[in-house]
A and B are shown apart, each in its own frame.
Chain A
Amino acid sequence: MEQVLSTISLRAICPEIIVAAFGLGILLMQSAKSRWMKDYFGYVSLIGVLAAIVMVVKGPASFDMKAVEYSFNNMWVVDNYARFFKVIFLLGTGLTILISMKYLSDESMMHGEYFALVLFATLGMMVMASGAELITIFLGIELMSLSLYALAGFTRTRLASNEAALKYFLLGSFATGFLLYGIALIYGSTGTTDINAISKFIHTASLQQSPMIIIGMGLLVVGFGFKTAAAPFHMWTPDVYEGAPAPITAFMSAGPKAAAFAAFARVFLEALPTLQTEWTAVIWVMAALTMSIGNIIALVQTNIKRMLAYSSIAHAGYVLVAFLAAGELGVSSIMYYMLAYTFMNLGAFAIITVMAGKGEERVHIDDYKGLGYKYPFAGVAMSLFLFSLAGIPPTGGFMGKFYIFQAAINEGYIGLAIIGVLNSVVSVYYYLRVTVAMYFQSPSSTTQGSDAPALVFSPALLLAIVVAAYGVLSLGLFPAKYVALVKQSSLLLQ
């Protein structure tokens, strides 16, 4: 007991405390029943997110410290790897909040619970990034997932939203079962859930070939595969992404995916590195499948949310390529890519949210006909995000892919790199379809024609788009400082 107390370190969880406090605070504000507060939920939670970012970057446990800090009896770790991912999550959350405010008031859904749930989900992700022990990571996953299940069904009057929530919940809890079973098997054979201790035990007891460990590892792959939406565990993604409220789809596609990869990489590269030969083949196939399935099925989608759902599957595939490459280059390229992906995907979803309008009526690619002429700013920004998703320079998406394939080729995965780049050619086609609609086709009367309702860009939304565009361009044009950061942050994970 003494020892536990001695390793409690509040400063190590300071950003998490802030996020949790703001989430709870908003719940209290909600129950205060004064109507005027309603309009401020978003801003309050935004302040919380900003404070947490400041705390991660400049606070007592900031980037300057190169050391790894373990606390809470080795359950919690603060290293640059965790810090970097936390910044990604918080950025994603901040952008989501900016996108959400207008959407919620349009849908008459401005409730405090929404923001509280978003903050709790973020808290879950942060726990996942900092968890140094399987149960802690699992708690983070659960906190994130439960909040997301509720958020997916938040627009409760829309049938699709309810469907999304139910599907997500049923399949998600099923996948959680796999994860937990995997953890149990690994605990059963090593007697610990501590990541470093697992690695040591497997090494000293030569358990590399133990069937129990290998089965446990396989179950973990299933669980994490589900959370990252990697094929063949991706089936839930299209329906959930399509049905969930647009800002929540944006949220889900960035932060939680990054969090799942953060935990996935930490568990596999820190706890199970000695089993690398065992999981290499599995991940290779998963990466190839995920990229190909995501991109090929996205080709035939007409609903833009569904299309981006498949595209997000494909992007998980690219990240798996980096995951496979492991090493310093591989891990740092995952971090770089997830940062770029957060900016470009949330940027695209910001515009999708505006376009969708009340009741999400305009979510078909045909609805984008003529958008580029009527709203030049939205058109240019959307094109930028789509070109970035397609991996065309000079955008962050290109540099991210460049980084990932560099890592893959460095480790000799030339075949996978070729599959990857060919996939990105396939993906160009469906991203281009949106630009074709925006610029090359004339609007029909129901979409962008004269009797279509005008789009309203609230200042918060504009801010989100500008921030995302800035991120995409600066990651693409001046990558040096980001590369330095991710390289330094990934050093500890080897």
Chain B
Amino acid sequence: MMTSPDFPILSVITFLPLLGVLAICLIDGKRHSLIRWVAFLVAVATFIISLPLYFRFDASTWQMQFVEQHPWITQFGVSYHMGIDGISMLLVVLTTFLSALAILSTWSAVSESVKGYMASLLLLETGMLGVFCALDFVLFYVFWEVMLIPMYFIIGIWGGPRRIYAAVKFFIYTMSGSVLMLVAILVLYFLNYKATGVMTFDILTYYKLGLPANVQFWLFLAFFLAFAIKVPMFPFHTWLPDAHVEAPTAGSVILAGVLLKMGTYGFLRFSLPIFPEATVQFIPMILCLSVIGIIYGALVSLAQEDVKKLVAYSSVSHLGYCMLGMFALNAEGLKGSIIQMINHGLSTGALFMIVGMLYERRHTRLISEYGGILKVMPILGGLFLLVCFSSMGVPGLNGFVGELLILIGAFKASLGYGLLATIGLILGAIYLLWMYKRVMYGEITKEENRSLKDMTGREFAYLLPIIVFIVWIGVSPKPFLDKMDASVTNLLQVVNHQSTQADSRNRIGVDMKLAEVNNEQFAADQRR
């Protein structure tokens, strides 16, 4: 059944977790282990069902695959339109993969209101998958916002001491970015209606819409704000450390692993193809902010005394690479950027899991409270080192692949930014290794640390799959990169084609006047 082309696989994986939520709601809240198992099995089932997305994905085309389309609000031209291409496919699989592991990772960490917790995690999974699969603006926006609610509760209920502040900040920060995007979406909608006479929110039709440059500028800015907050890019990153530090382990894993990728994904899906001219216009600013983010994030990480905060700030730095590669606007940079999204999800997810393991044992995250514990927990120490290597981009592991491609792309685009980004790479090695040294090496200074237990079977079970992929992508990245080849090439074509076309139009200078005439015509039509 699942191999049939009509099987609505994207809907099934998106809404299976929601079914899990309903099932959990029916279970008695006191039966904790049953709830955990149901949640975990639902997440695993979702992951297994999502695997055909990878194996049956046709890498030779940039067209959307596994497409489903049904009318939703026909009067507005809103449809339930799902589909994935080479850009989103890996992100979807990453989401199902990390969600299952994240549920496993908080098996013992959360013991209060397990029911609500597991329901929130599954609801979150539905929201995230929806964001990556949606091909309709309204559908996308609905999922984009829906996902805020469970994350808000995860941070607010099961978080650390400043959880309320962090949860509210997370919610309001994200929402203030996205409401302006909503306005921009509506403006786009009417501009498209004006140009084509068709009322539609279908994202793909907007790829062909050549907008005047100054309109593109403002709309790009509105989308930029929404996505830059989510990524987060340098001046908009302040919600991230708070949210990360206060969130429980699974929350942090999902937040870093998947949620941040929604921002970068948004740029790829919307900003680049719909506003190609503005994209070109904004390149200098975004490259600059990305490099600032890379170096600033690394420097701040260097100064952290709290392991979790350090990992959180390292995300700012790593996402800076993603943005840098993307706005280098060449094939290497884009591919590097996408694979780096996956890599960051894996390695930072693993880092947060390890921090969670340490926290569960000692109930502190201060680096100074540890030291020398490699002796008592050699397995955890060894894997921790491997994950740090992955995060700093040591050859042979996944991080290297992404960072190398991004740097190649960056150097092609701009020598200066390429050089600066390389500095970030060195800083990355410094803060991670220094942290590792202070936590793991040396003499044991605290008595409590002598009796720490090494990893349990369950902890091993959820870390190992990530390690496997870290090595796999590192050793043989080609199959993964090939999947996105066609889509990336097409994306570049769309961007280049549209921006050159617009150039010639601008030279004639009729562009804006035409738009104005259209404007009046449209208003007149409406009045009638």
Q: Do A and B interact? A: yes
Establish whether residues A409 and B76, one from each chain, have CB atoms under 8 Å apart when the complex forms.
Answer: no
Establish whether residues A480 and B75, one from each chain, have CB atoms under 8 Å apart when the complex forms.
Answer: yes
In whole angstroms, what is the CA distance A313 to B397 when docked?
57
Which 6 pairs show the lowest CB-CB distances between chains A and B? A421-B179, A393-B142, A409-B186, A440-B156, A425-B176, A483-B75
Q: Is residue A424 within 8 Å, beta carbon to beta carbon, of the partner chain?
A: yes
Question: Using Cβ atoms and an 8 Å threshold, which residues of chain B touch A405?
Answer: 182-183, 186
In whole angstroms, what is the CA distance A393 to B137 when docked?
13
In whole angstroms, what is the CA distance A174 to B523 when docked?
40
Question: Using Cβ atoms and an 8 Å threshold, which residues of chain A touch B141?
Answer: 393
Binding site for B on A (CB under 8 A): 327, 373, 387, 392-394, 398, 402, 405-406, 409-412, 414, 417-418, 421-422, 424-425, 428-429, 432, 435-436, 439-441, 479-480, 483-484, 487
Establish whether residues A406 and B526, one from each chain, have CB atoms under 8 Å apart when the complex forms.
Answer: no
18 A/B residue pairs, CB under 8 Å, sorted by A: A327-B527, A373-B113, A392-B146, A392-B175, A393-B145, A394-B142, A402-B138, A402-B182, A406-B76, A406-B186, A409-B187, A414-B187, A421-B179, A432-B172, A436-B156, A436-B167, A480-B72, A480-B74
Establish whether residues B76 and A429, one from each chain, have CB atoms under 8 Å apart when the complex forms.
Answer: no
Question: Using Cβ atoms and an 8 Å threshold, which residues of chain A touch B175?
Answer: 392, 425, 428
A357 to chain B, nearest CB (A): 25
Q: Is residue B149 within 8 Å, beta carbon to beta carbon, of the partner chain?
A: yes
Establish whether residues A394 and B146, one from each chain, have CB atoms under 8 Å apart when the complex forms.
Answer: yes
A113 to chain B, nearest CB (A): 42
Establish whether residues B71 and A393, one from each chain, have CB atoms under 8 Å apart when the complex forms.
Answer: no
Cross-chain contact of A392 among B74, B145, B167 (Cβ < 8 A): B145
Question: Using Cβ atoms and an 8 Å threshold, which residues of chain A touch B190?
Answer: 409-410
Establish whether residues B168 and A483, one from each chain, have CB atoms under 8 Å apart when the complex forms.
Answer: no
In whole angstroms, what is the CA distance A380 to B136 when docked?
29
Cross-chain contact of B73 among A411, A422, A436, A479 (Cβ < 8 A): A479
In whole angstroms, what is the CA distance A184 to B256 when docked?
65
Question: Using Cβ atoms and an 8 Å threshold, which residues of chain B touch A394?
Answer: 142, 146
Establish whether residues B75 and A412, one from each chain, have CB atoms under 8 Å apart when the complex forms.
Answer: no
With A414-B187, A439-B156 as contacts: A421 and B180 at CB distance below 8 Å: yes
Establish whether residues B164 and A440, one from each chain, have CB atoms under 8 Å apart when the complex forms.
Answer: yes
Cross-chain contact of B157 among A414, A418, A439, A483 (Cβ < 8 A): A439
Cross-chain contact of B145 among A398, A432, A479 (Cβ < 8 A): A398
B492 to chain A, nearest CB (A): 31
Closest to B182 in A: A421
Question: Using Cβ atoms and an 8 Å threshold, which residues of chain B touch A414?
Answer: 183, 187
Question: Using Cβ atoms and an 8 Å threshold, which residues of chain A touch B168?
Answer: 429, 432, 436
Q: Is residue B239 within 8 Å, beta carbon to beta carbon, of the partner chain?
A: no
Establish whether residues B526 and A439, one from each chain, have CB atoms under 8 Å apart when the complex forms.
Answer: no
With A393-B146, A436-B168, A439-B157 as contacts: A412 and B183 at CB distance below 8 Å: no
Question: Using Cβ atoms and an 8 Å threshold, which residues of chain B touch A392?
Answer: 145-146, 148-149, 175
B184 to chain A, nearest CB (A): 10
Closest to B115 in A: A376
Establish whether residues B146 and A425, one from each chain, have CB atoms under 8 Å apart when the complex forms.
Answer: no
Establish whether residues A436 and B164, one from each chain, have CB atoms under 8 Å apart when the complex forms.
Answer: yes
Establish whether residues A387 and B182, one from each chain, have CB atoms under 8 Å apart when the complex forms.
Answer: no
Interface of B is mostly: helix
Cross-chain contact of B171 among A402, A417, A428, A487 (Cβ < 8 A): A428
Establish whether residues B75 and A484, one from each chain, have CB atoms under 8 Å apart when the complex forms.
Answer: yes
B128 to chain A, nearest CB (A): 15
Establish whether residues B149 and A425, one from each chain, have CB atoms under 8 Å apart when the complex forms.
Answer: no
Q: Is residue B230 within 8 Å, beta carbon to beta carbon, of the partner chain?
A: no
In whole angstroms, what is the CA distance A402 to B180 when docked?
12
Q: Is residue B62 within 8 Å, beta carbon to beta carbon, of the partner chain?
A: no
In whole angstroms, what is the CA distance A422 to B145 when docked?
15
Q: Is residue B400 within 8 Å, beta carbon to beta carbon, of the partner chain?
A: no
In whole angstroms, what is the CA distance A488 to B183 when docked?
25
Which residues in window 150-208 of B have CB below 8 A to A? 152-153, 156-157, 163-164, 167-168, 171-172, 175-176, 179-180, 182-183, 186-187, 189-190
**Interface readout for B375-410 with A: 1 if CB under 8 Å, 0 if not?**
000000000000000000000000000000000000
In whole angstroms, what is the CA distance A421 to B225 when docked?
14
Question: Using Cβ atoms and an 8 Å threshold, which residues of chain A touch B156?
Answer: 435-436, 439-440
Closest to B113 in A: A373
With A409-B183, A480-B71 as contacts: A440 and B142 at CB distance below 8 Å: no
Establish whether residues A487 and B526, one from each chain, have CB atoms under 8 Å apart when the complex forms.
Answer: no
Question: Using Cβ atoms and an 8 Å threshold, which residues of chain A touch B152?
Answer: 432
B110 to chain A, nearest CB (A): 14
A406 to chain B, nearest CB (A): 5
In whole angstroms, what is the CA distance A424 to B167 when docked?
18
Question: Using Cβ atoms and an 8 Å threshold, which residues of chain A touch B172?
Answer: 425, 428-429, 432
Question: Using Cβ atoms and an 8 Å threshold, which residues of chain A touch B179?
Answer: 421-422, 424-425
Closest to B519 in A: A412
In whole angstroms, what is the CA distance A392 to B76 when docked?
19
A148 to chain B, nearest CB (A): 34
Establish whether residues A422 and B176, one from each chain, have CB atoms under 8 Å apart when the complex forms.
Answer: yes
A338 to chain B, nearest CB (A): 18
In whole angstroms, what is the CA distance A418 to B187 when docked?
11
Question: Using Cβ atoms and an 8 Å threshold, which residues of chain A touch B527?
Answer: 327
Establish whether residues B73 and A440, one from each chain, have CB atoms under 8 Å apart when the complex forms.
Answer: no
Question: Using Cβ atoms and an 8 Å threshold, which residues of chain A touch B526?
Answer: 327, 410-411
Establish whether residues B186 and A417, one from each chain, have CB atoms under 8 Å apart when the complex forms.
Answer: yes
Question: Using Cβ atoms and an 8 Å threshold, which residues of chain A touch B153?
Answer: 439
In whole angstroms, what is the CA distance A411 to B190 when docked?
10
Closest to A399 in B: B73
In whole angstroms, what is the CA distance A484 to B182 when docked?
22
In whole angstroms, what is the CA distance A484 to B72 when docked?
12
Closest to A479 in B: B73
Closest to A403 in B: B76
B519 to chain A, nearest CB (A): 9
Question: Using Cβ atoms and an 8 Å threshold, which residues of chain B touch A479?
Answer: 73
Question: Using Cβ atoms and an 8 Å threshold, which residues of chain A touch B182?
Answer: 402, 405, 421
Establish whether residues A418 and B180, one from each chain, have CB atoms under 8 Å apart when the complex forms.
Answer: yes
A299 to chain B, nearest CB (A): 12
B170 to chain A, nearest CB (A): 11
B222 to chain A, nearest CB (A): 9
Question: Using Cβ atoms and an 8 Å threshold, which residues of chain B touch A411?
Answer: 526
Closest to A401 in B: B182
Question: Using Cβ atoms and an 8 Å threshold, which residues of chain A touch B146?
Answer: 392-394
In whole angstroms, what is the CA distance A365 to B149 when docked?
20
Which residues in window 34-75 of B have CB below 8 A to A? 71-75
B218 to chain A, nearest CB (A): 9
In whole angstroms, what is the CA distance A441 to B180 when docked?
31
Question: Using Cβ atoms and an 8 Å threshold, which residues of chain A touch B189?
Answer: 406, 409
In whole angstroms, what is the CA distance A411 to B523 when docked?
7
Question: Using Cβ atoms and an 8 Å threshold, which residues of chain B touch A418?
Answer: 180, 183
Question: Using Cβ atoms and an 8 Å threshold, which residues of chain A touch B72?
Answer: 480
Question: Using Cβ atoms and an 8 Å threshold, which residues of chain A touch B71?
Answer: 480
In whole angstroms, what is the CA distance A480 to B138 when docked?
13
Question: Using Cβ atoms and an 8 Å threshold, which residues of chain B touch A402?
Answer: 138, 182
In whole angstroms, what is the CA distance A469 to B234 when docked?
41
In whole angstroms, what is the CA distance A387 to B171 when docked?
12
In whole angstroms, what is the CA distance A192 to B113 when docked?
66
B240 to chain A, nearest CB (A): 19
**Interface readout for B513-528 with A: 1 if CB under 8 Å, 0 if not?**
0000000000100110
